[in-house]
């Protein structure tokens, strides 16, 4: 996977820089999402792994994607095909999305709670996290009754474990030391 990440990074960066320059980040995200899903298709990936020429691969890929790609998207696919990199499109999408979030100062935050959070609690949590992280926060909430009570918050590399289960685990570890 790290090889694909290294392969995808320059393509994602080039697409991102072009999209920023053209003020077309949402359109590029949509195109790359469709292209990445196309590349994940079993029949398409089998064709891409075959010994077809780059021109044939690009032509097939553009035909399958149809109107989902604009002229610049076609050119992007052609360049990736020339370098035999179309299978890296899912990783290109992932890297592009990270660059976009960084550019727009957004962060996805995963919140796991013991019970369902109501709208007021979510709003309060978003406000607190927005202030702490200095970014627009997008919450992804889930419920895990094994936490007993409290929250487990993950934002990038930061983890805040305010759950009773986490406190009990830390206490058990401290007692065993």
Domains of the chain: 2-102 (1.10.520.20), 105-176 (3.40.30)
pLDDT one-digit tens code per residue, 61-94: 888 888 888 999 999 999 998 988 888 999 999 9
Q: What is the pLDDT of residues 20-50, one digit of tens each?
A: 999 999 999 999 999 999 989 888 888 888 7
Residues 88/2, Cβ–Cβ less than 8 Å:
no
**What's the mean pLDDT when you consider all of the chain?**
89
Report the alpha-carbon angle 98-113-141, nearest 5. 35
Query: How far apart are the C-alpha atoms of 153 and 163, rounded to whole Å?
Result: 10
CA dihedral 163, 164, 166, 172 (to 10 degrees): 170
Residue 77: both structure tokens together: 């696919």
Contacts of 57 (CB under 8 A, 6+ apart): 47, 48, 81, 86
Per-residue confidence at 1, pLDDT binned at 50, 70, 90?
A: very low
């Amino acid at each position: 996977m790290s090889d694909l990440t290294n392969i995808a990074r320059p393509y994602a960066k080039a697409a991102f820089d072009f999209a920023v320059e053209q003020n077309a980040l949402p359109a590029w995200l949509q195109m790359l999402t469709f292209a990445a899903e196309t590349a994940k298709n079993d029949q398409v990936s089998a064709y891409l792994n075959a010994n077809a020429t780059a021109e044939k691969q690009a032509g097939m890929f553009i035909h399958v994607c149809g109107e989902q790609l604009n002229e610049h998207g076609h050119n992007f696919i052609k360049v990736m095909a020339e370098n035999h990199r179309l299978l890296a499109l899912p990783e290109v999408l992932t890297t592009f999305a990270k660059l976009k979030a960084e550019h727009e100062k957004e962060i996805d935050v995963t919140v796991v709670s013991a019970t369902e959070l109501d709208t007021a609690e979510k709003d309060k949590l978003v406000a607190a996290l927005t202030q702490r992280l200095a970014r627009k926060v997008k919450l992804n909430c889930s419920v895990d009754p094994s936490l007993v009570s409290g929250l487990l918050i993950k934002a990038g590399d930061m983890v805040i474990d305010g759950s009773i289960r986490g406190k009990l685990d830390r206490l058990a570890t401290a007692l065993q030391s």
